[in-house]
A and B are shown apart, each in its own frame.
Chain A
Amino acid sequence: MVSTIKHYVSVASCWARLAVQRQLEYPLFLFSWLLMIPIQYFSGIWMLKIIVDRFQALNGWDFPQLTFLYGLGLISHGIFVVFFINTWSIDHMVINGGFDRLLLRPMNVFFQLVASYVNFIGLIDCIPGVIIFLYGADIAGFDWTLANIGKLILVLIGGILIRAALFTSLGTIAFWTKRNGSMVGFALTMLERATMYPLSMYPYFLQALFTFIIPIGFISFYPAAEFLNADSGGLDLPLSFALWTPLVGVICFLIAGGIFKFGMRNYESAGS
C-alpha cells in the first residue's frame, strides 16, 4: 500500500514537472492567458454589482455576500482547472485512441488521465478568484477563525471533487457516443450559473436538481450560506454544510470513478 502510494506520488510529481516544462515552451500562450482570464472574471463580478445596485438583492443576498459566493466558486474552479483539466478531453481521447497508451502502462488509467497534465497555467484562474474572495470575505464580515479556515479548506477540496466527478461522468458518455465536446461547454455554463448566483433564487425544481441529483449547490452556495448566515433556500441538514461538501465530493468522485471504469470496458480504440 505504502509503496503503491509512493509509486503514484513519484510518477505524479514527475508528470507535474514535465507539464510545467512543456507549458514553458510556449511563453506567449501563457502571457495571453494571463491577460484574458482576469478580465473575464472581474467583468463577471462587475456585472453582479450592477445588477444588485440597480435592482435589488438577489433573494436576500446582498453584494458582499454575492462576492464571497462568487469568489469561493472561482477558487475551486481555478484549482480544478489546474489538476483535472484532462477530464475535459476524454471524448478526444476516445475518438483518436488516446487511451491505448494509458492502458499499456501498469498504472490506474484514471490516475494517468488526470495526473499526466498538471495545467499550472490554471493557477492564473485562481488569482482573480482569490482576490474576489478575499474582498468578499472582508466586506461580508467573514470570521477568520481557525475552525472556519479548516472548514474552508474542506469545502474547497469537496468542491473540486464535485467538479471533477461531474466532468468525468460527462466525459465518460463519450465511450458510448464517441463525441460529446459540447457537453463540456454546457456543464461549464451550468456550473457558473449555479455557483455564482444564490441557488435559492431558482425555481424549486432546479434547487432540488442541483442539490440531490447533480449536487453542485454544495460547491459554493450551501457553504457560503452557512459561513455568512445567509438564506440557504430552506434546505436543512444535520451538521454543517461545510462538512457535507467534502462528503458529497468524495461520494460523487467515487461514483464517477466507477462510471469511468465501466465506460472503459466499452472503449474501442481507433483504427490502424
Chain B
Amino acid sequence: METVIEVKDLVKEYIIVKKESGLRGSIKSLLFPKKTKFNGVNGISFSIAPGEIVGYIGPNGAGKSTTIKMLTGILHPTSGSIKVCGISPQADRKAVVRKLGVVFGQRTQLYWDLRLGESFELLCRIYQIDQQAYDDNLAILTDVLKLQEFINTPVRQLSLGQRMRGDIAAAMLHSPSVLFLDEPTIGLDADAKHAIRNFIKEINRTRGVTVILTTHDLDDVEQLCSRIIVVNNGKLVEDGPIGSIIHKLTPHRLLVVELHEPADDLTTPHATVIKQEGLKIWYQFEKESISASELIAALSQKLPIQDISVKEPNVEDAIREVYKTTATR
C-alpha cells in the first residue's frame, strides 16, 4: 500500500525532576534531583495513505502535539522511525517541510503589524514559489477562504476567524501534499468553523491533500474524517473508520418508548430497561443481536405504545468511553 506517513514504534521520552514541597524540598531536589523518565509518546505506530483525512484525537496531554511535532521535524524522537513522503524528517528536515503545511490554531505565523498579504509575499520567497503558481494559488485560496475582504488589513486587526483563515492560506501557499492542522477551529464561531471545514474538504477533494487534524471539537471529526486515530497516555488506543470505532466501543443502542397508559410487564428478552420516568421507558439493546424494527415489533405486541425513538450513540460518547477505559496506566 502506498503511504505518505509511516510511523513505527515512536517513543518520546521526557525527564521529569520530581519536586518536593517547601524550601527543604527545593534544596533537596536541587542537590539530589529525583529524575523520573516519562514517555510522552510511548510506542505509537500507524501509517496514512495519500488523500486521507485523519482525525488525531485524544485528551489533553495524551501526546498528540508531541507526535505532530515529531512528524513535522520539530522534535527528535527518542526512538522509533518516521517517514514522511518517504523521507525521515530528522534526517532531512528541509526536504520534508517543503511538502508540509502546518497550522497551529493557538499560534500564528503571520506578522502582527503587517498586512496579511505581506506575510504571504515573504512565504512566497521562503518556499521559492514561482510567481505564476503563486498568483494562481493565491487566487484560489482567496476565493475559497474569502480573503479578499481583509487581505490588506493588518493582522492585529483581524478577527480570530479571519486570522485563522489567513493562517490556513499561509500554510497552503506552497501547495503542500500533507496538511497538519492542530486545533484549527479552536475558539471560532459556527460560521468560521463551517468555512474552514468546507475548505478542508475542498482541498482534499480537488488536490488530494492528505490532512491530519487534531481537535477537541468532535463535530470537526464527524464531518471531515474518514478515519480516526485515538491516543491516550502516549499510546495508540484506537485506529480505524469512525463508524466501526463507534460500533466497537458502544455496541448498545437505546430505544425510548412512551406509553399512553401504564403497563405491568415491561420486560422483554431482547433488551433491558435501564431507566423509567412515568410513562417513558429507556431500553438498551445490542444492535448485533436484534434490529430496532424487530424490537419495536416485539414490544408493540405487549405494550400500549404511543411514541417511539431510537438513539444512536455518537462520536462523543464513543470517545468519552475510550478516554475513560484507557485513563489509568
Which A residues are within 8 Å of any B CB, using their own CB?
7, 10-11, 14-15, 18, 21-22, 25, 97, 99-101, 103-107, 265, 267-269, 271-272
| B96 to A, closest residue via Cβ | A106
Decide: A269 and B74 in contact? CB cutoff 8 A: yes
Q: What is the chain A residue whose CB lies nearest that of B90?
A: A265
A14 with B94: in contact, given A22-B114, A104-B100, A269-B69 (CB under 8 Å)? no
| In the bound complex, CA of A210 to CA of B305 (Å) | 94
Residue B75 CB within 8 A of the other chain: yes
| A contact residues around B69 at 8 Å (CB) | 100, 269
Inter-subunit contact A11/B125 (CB<8 Å): yes
Which chain B residues (77-125) contact chain A, with CB distance < 8 Å? Answer: 93-95, 97-98, 100, 102, 104, 106-107, 109, 111, 113-114, 118, 121-122, 125
Residues of A within 8 A of B118 (CB): 18, 21
Is the pair A106, B97 in contact by a Cβ cutoff of 8 Å?
yes
Question: Does B127 sit at the interface, judged by CB under 8 A?
Answer: yes
Q: Give CA–CA (A15, B73) in the complex, Å.
A: 24
A162 to chain B, nearest CB (A): 29
Q: Which 7 pairs across A and B sit closest by C-beta, in order of nearness? A: A106-B94, A22-B113, A25-B113, A103-B74, A106-B98, A11-B125, A14-B125
Question: Could you tell me if A21 and B73 are in contact, using CB atoms closer than 8 angstroms?
Answer: no
Provide the bound-state CA to CA distance between A56 and B253, in Å.
96
If A21-B114, A22-B111, A100-B69 touch, does A106 touch B126 (CB 8 Å cutoff)? yes
| B contact set with A: CB distance below 8 Å | 14, 65, 69, 72-76, 93-95, 97-98, 100, 102, 104, 106-107, 109, 111, 113-114, 118, 121-122, 125-128
Q: Are B93 and A103 in contact (CB under 8 A)?
A: yes
Looking at the assembled complex, report how far the CB atom of A260 sits from the nearest CB atom of chain B, in whole angstroms.
15
Residues A104 and B125 in contact, CB atoms below 8 Å apart: no
Q: B114–A107 contact, CB under 8 A? A: no
Task: Enumerate chain A residues within 8 angstroms of B73, measured Cβ to Cβ.
Answer: 103-104
Take A7-B128, A25-B113, A104-B97 as given contacts and tell me if A269 and B75 are in contact as well, using a CB distance cutoff of 8 Å.
yes
Smallest distance from the beta carbon of B289 to chain A beta carbons, Å? Answer: 44
A18 and B122 in contact (CB under 8 A), knowing A100-B69, A103-B73? Answer: yes
Assess the A105–B97 pair: CB atoms within 8 A.
yes
Whether the pair B76, A265 counts as a contact (CB closer than 8 A) is yes
A14-B74 in contact (CB<8A): no
